[in-house]
């Protein structure tokens, strides 16, 4: 039996619409509950999320959708 492929990448995502620490916690929780995400750090001041994820399981579009599903606008920052 072979181990699942791990292709870990880190991405910065710009998030619009957050106004408080509760917003940050809401987005972080949603990201961390997503299969394939190993870490997520959301910063209110810079309006960004730094997400480490398995690119073999998730695409950037998947991550953006997770954030958008929490009610905020998300765009890959590169």
pLDDT tens by residue, 31-42? 999 999 999 999
Q: What local confidence, expressed as pLDDT, does residue 78 receive?
A: 64
Cα first-last separation, the chain: 35
pTM confidence score: 0.91
Q: What local confidence, expressed as pLDDT, does residue 2 receive?
A: 60
Whether the Cβ atoms of residue 75 and residue 13 lie closer than 8 Å to each other: yes
Question: Domain 8-76, what fold?
Answer: Alpha-Beta Plaits (3.30.70)
Whether the Cβ atoms of residue 6 and residue 58 lie closer than 8 Å to each other: no
Does the pLDDT at position 72 exceed 70? Answer: yes
Residue ranges of domains in the chain: 8-76
Residue 40: CB partners within 8 Å, gap ≥ 6? 27, 28, 31, 32, 49, 50, 51, 52
Count other C-beta atoms under 10 Å from residue 71's C-beta: 12
Question: Average per-residue pLDDT in the chain?
Answer: 94
Q: What local confidence, expressed as pLDDT, does residue 64 receive?
A: 98
Helix%, strand%, coil% for the chain, nearest 5 = 30, 35, 35
Residue 2 or residue 60, greater confidence: 60
């Amino acid at each position: 039996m072979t181990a699942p492929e791990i292709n870990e990448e880190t991405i910065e995502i710009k998030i619009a619409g957050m106004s408080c620490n509760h917003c940050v916690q809401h987005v972080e929780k949603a990201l961390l509950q997503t299969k394939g995400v190993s870490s997520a750090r959301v910063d209110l001041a810079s309006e960004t999320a730094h997400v480490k994820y398995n690119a073999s399981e998730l695409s950037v579009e998947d991550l953006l959708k997770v954030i958008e599903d929490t009610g905020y606008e998300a765009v890959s920052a590169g």
